Structure 1
Amino acid sequence: MKNLEFTGERMTTGLGSVHGVIEHLHRYAIAQKITNNKVVLDIASGEGYGSFLLSKSATKVFGVDIDEESINHAKVKYASSKNIEFSVGSTDAIPLEDRSVDVVISFETIEHHDKHDLMMKEISRVLKKNGVLLISSPEKSIYSSRDPNNPYHIKELTLDDFSDLLKRNFKNVNLFNQRFVIGSLIHLIDQDCESKFNLFDGDYLQIKNKLDEDDFYNKSYFNLAICSNANNNDYLEVGSSIFNGVRVVKEEINVLKESYEKQYNNILSTESFKLGNSIIKKINSVRKLLKR
């Protein structure tokens, strides 16, 4: 099936941007940890790949997006997943009943409009009493250096703005940063053992127990939060994690390699190249004769 066109407004599976793909997949990896056997709303579901990933372990997934073309595309592409229901709707008018979902997922949505309080009220309305919201938002203070003048971002939030909004609407709010990192991961083989997650940086002269920010890549471009009004905080501790991006990087390298090979072969087959090559051969022949 043909990929949904990438316009810059929403992620699609045809996009090859390494950091963008890895960041989005990592967020859904976290989401899978808290949506097992749950009824889930993926608000601003876009192309539908995230709803599809969640559907592998969730009881039911509602994928809702304001864009009708995206919804129609998702209905066809993921038709084999019987526990997903895609429908058109917005963050301030969610087409679901009150107290109907266990978990709401909202990734890179809130910056696309300015009805933030209405969005929180609608999410609170559809969430069950002990429901959970997992939400992400680009960091306003630095995001423009990575994606300048994005016409689809209507109102970005700083971490303080993000925190204040969520704490006005939920009793429990756990905040996270998300960074794109390139490095080495050392972890326990026995994943049942608990261990503090450390961040290291440095060189041959010094190693520090923290990350130094790069000019571009590993800044905390995204803020995430897990929110709930429940007294039970089991959902709120998902811990630190890393998403292995090697597969994505290799795929992008292969795509670039194929593209360059195609361009190279196209150049070899042009009449101008053949003519130029013929002229060079004749010149080289003359040079050989003169050397004799």
Structure 2
Amino acid sequence: MPDVEEPKLYLQQNQPEGVPPLALTGERTLPDVPEENYWYRRHLVVYEWIRERVGGLKVIDMACGEGYGSMVLGGSAREVVGVDANPEAHEHAKARYTTNNVRFARDLVETFDEPADAVVFLQTIEHVQNPDEILERFKTLVGASPSPVVIVSTPNLLTLAPEGAEKSENPWHVKEYRPEEFLKLCRDHFGTVELYGLFHARRLKVHELAIKRLGWDSIHRALRITKPFYDRFTPAIAASDFVLSADRSLDGALDFVAVCRP
């Protein structure tokens, strides 16, 4: 029988002492994995954007995964609770990111029951079978706050999946949304919804234009420099290589970010 190549296992690098590294599974993104840096920065920029809008609030970071986003939110929030049901992710987050105003709870999104001022639910609603029930629950959790807000993000079907497809090949996703579908979903549960798109900027915008106008994908393959190029390019991507905007056509957005208020 011919040898079958095992898929490469990517583990986090250079973790603090006593913090177990997590493996990249495709279900969540991770910092400290150079090959994953594009996706990590694409998520991180949204957390940093939210941080500027939750100052002084109690925030629940639902489905917090590795925990880096909860740490970012803790830079301005009064209190942050990172909630995740995965035992490995929970133990990692608790060991690495717990501070005087950031803590972690192992629980399901559907059952965690602490009131808060803000609920953050990023890149996860596409994973769930019951989005309407979950959004109603989030609205209840912030219902007693004088400054209630629920912030939800999801990838754009139109830029994630092949043209004309109803879903990408991501096995973890249940439902991927077009802009009008996601806006309707949020408006069905909240009185006010502001919808933003995430787009490439700086070096990623240049790279995107090089692919579209110069055929860069064909050039680097022909020159046999694909791996060396991306081995250097991907780890260098920064959060500043993405930008959030409410003024561009959402059809071309990478992700949507909905700021929802009852």
Q: TM-score, normalised by structure 2?
A: 0.69
Looking at structure 1, the residues matched to 189 and 89 of structure 2 have their Cα atoms a distance apart, in angstroms, of 29
Report the residue type matching 2:140 in the other structure: R
Partner of 2:113: 96
Q: 2:188 aligns with which of 147, 168, 185?
A: 168
Structure with max Cα Rg: 1
| Equivalent residue pairs, number | 198
**Any conservation in 2 of the 1:91–1:122 contact (CA below 8 Å)?**
no
- Cα deviation digits, residues 186-237 of structure 1 (max 9, x gap): xxxxxxxxxxxxxxxxx9xxxxxx9899xxxx941211111112xxxxxxxx
The CA deviation at 1:48 is: 0.3
**Any conservation in 2 of the 1:12–1:47 contact (CA below 8 Å)?**
yes
The secondary structure found in structure 1 opposite 2:119 is strand
Partner of 1:180: 200
Partner of 2:100: 82
Matched, 1:132 2:149: yes
Matches within 5 A, 1:210-249: 219-229=252-262
Matched, 1:47 2:66: yes
Partner of 2:175: 155
**Any conservation in 2 of the 1:19–1:180 contact (CA below 8 Å)?**
no
The CA deviation at 1:127 is: 0.8
**Any conservation in 2 of the 1:92–1:115 contact (CA below 8 Å)?**
no
Looking at structure 1, the residues matched to 190 and 143 of structure 2 have their Cα atoms a distance apart, in angstroms, of 13
RMSD between aligned residues: 2.8
Partner of 1:199: none
Q: 1:212–1:58: structure 2 CA closer, same or farther, 3 Å change rule?
A: closer
Partner of 1:22: 41
Unaligned runs of 5+ in 1: 186-202, 204-209, 230-292
Report the residue type matching 1:4 in the other structure: L
The CA deviation at 1:155 is: 1.4
Q: Identity of aligned pairs, percent?
A: 27
Report the residue type matching 2:100 in the other structure: K
The CA deviation at 1:85 is: 2.0
Looking at structure 2, the residues matched to 153 and 6 of structure 1 have their Cα atoms a distance apart, in angstroms, of 16
Q: Which moved more, 1:128-137 or 1:142-151?
A: 142-151
**Any conservation in 1 of the 2:31–2:37 contact (CA below 8 Å)?**
no
Looking at structure 2, the residues matched to 106 and 118 of structure 1 have their Cα atoms a distance apart, in angstroms, of 14
Report the residue type matching 2:70 in the other structure: S
The secondary structure found in structure 1 opposite 2:256 is strand
**Any conservation in 1 of the 2:196–2:256 contact (CA below 8 Å)?**
yes
**Any conservation in 2 of the 1:180–1:219 contact (CA below 8 Å)?**
no
- Cα deviation digits, residues 125-169 of structure 1 (max 9, x gap): 111343001111111233124994111111112211111111111
Structure with greater contact order relative to length (CA < 8 Å, sep ≥ 6): 2
- Cα deviation digits, residues 26-81 of structure 1 (max 9, x gap): 101111111111100001100000001111221110101121211111111123x1
Looking at structure 2, the residues matched to 175 and 212 of structure 1 have their Cα atoms a distance apart, in angstroms, of 11
The secondary structure found in structure 2 opposite 1:61 is strand
Q: Which moved more, 1:146-155 or 1:70-79?
A: 146-155
The CA deviation at 1:14 is: 2.2
The secondary structure found in structure 2 opposite 1:73 is helix
**Any conservation in 1 of the 2:30–2:40 contact (CA below 8 Å)?**
no
Q: TM-score, normalised by structure 1?
A: 0.62
**Any conservation in 2 of the 1:6–1:14 contact (CA below 8 Å)?**
no
Q: 1:148–1:59: structure 2 CA closer, same or farther, 3 Å change rule?
A: same
Q: 1:74–1:182: structure 2 CA closer, same or farther, 3 Å change rule?
A: same
Looking at structure 1, the residues matched to 39 and 204 of structure 2 have their Cα atoms a distance apart, in angstroms, of 20
Looking at structure 2, the residues matched to 18 and 39 of structure 1 have their Cα atoms a distance apart, in angstroms, of 29
